[in-house]
Structure 1
Amino acid sequence: MAGFAFDNPPPPGPFDEDPHLQRILNAKEGPGPWPNAVLHRLHPPVPVTVRVVWERDDVEHLDTIATDWGGLHVLVTITDRRRRFGFLWLHCDDVGRR
Structure 2
Amino acid sequence: MARHPDSSPQDFWQAVLNEHWPPAAVARSLRDVPSDRQIPVVARVVYKDDGEQQLAGVAVRWTQQHVCVRIGDRRLATGLVWLAPADVWRAT
Q: Does TM-score exceed 0.5, indicating one fold?
A: yes
Identity %: 32
Hey, what does 1:53 align to over in structure 2? 46
Hey, what does 1:26 align to over in structure 2? 18
**Contact kept? 1:74, 1:95, Cα under 8 Å:** yes
Structural RMSD (CA): 2.5
**Contact kept? 1:38, 1:70, Cα under 8 Å:** no
**1:29 corresponds to which letter in structure 2?**
W
1:55-94 to structure 2, matched below 5 A, reads 55-94=48-87
Between Structure 1 and Structure 2, the one with more helix by share is: 2
Equivalent position SS for 1:34: helix
Between Structure 1 and Structure 2, the one with more strand by share is: 1
Which residues of structure 1 form unaligned runs of 5+? 1-15
Q: How many residues align?
A: 82
**1:34 corresponds to which letter in structure 2?**
A
Hey, what does 2:89 align to over in structure 1? 96
What is the TM-score normalised by the length of structure 2?
Answer: 0.74
**1:46 corresponds to which letter in structure 2?**
I
Which structure 1 residue ranges, 4+ long, deviate > 4 Å from structure 2? 35-40
Equivalent position SS for 2:86: helix
Query: For 1:36-86, what per-residue CA distance to the aligned partner results, in whole angstroms no more than 9, with x for missing partners?
Result: 987583752011100000000000001111011113101110222212102
What is the TM-score normalised by the length of structure 1?
Answer: 0.70
